[in-house]
Amino acid sequence: MSSNYIHALVQRHAAIERQIEDVLKSPAPDTLHVMTLKKLRLAYRDRIRQAIREKRTRASARRQKHWRPVPAAAPATFAEGH
């Protein structure tokens, strides 16, 4: 998932949050509508988390693909230091 995709999900999540706030500000909020919006908001939260997880997994796989071990230096003995 690209950063643009994740950003779009975050923006949509924020828009839904604002919708919830607006509905709750009304004198007689429609509880069914609020519940539906909250479920949608949670679905977007899950999609955001999944997209971030997939992005991190792919980045980690790319790093491991190009990783090469560096040979460790031989430990110095006490006698070599003096």
pLDDT tens figures, 17-40: 999 999 999 999 999 999 999 999
Write down the domain spans for the chain.
3-65
pLDDT tens figures, 60-80: 877 777 666 666 666 666 665
Mean of all residue pLDDT scores within the chain: 87
- Residue 45: the pLDDT is 98
pTM listed for this prediction: 0.70
Q: Closest by alpha carbon to 10, among 36, 62, 53, 48?
A: 48
- Residue 58: the pLDDT is 86
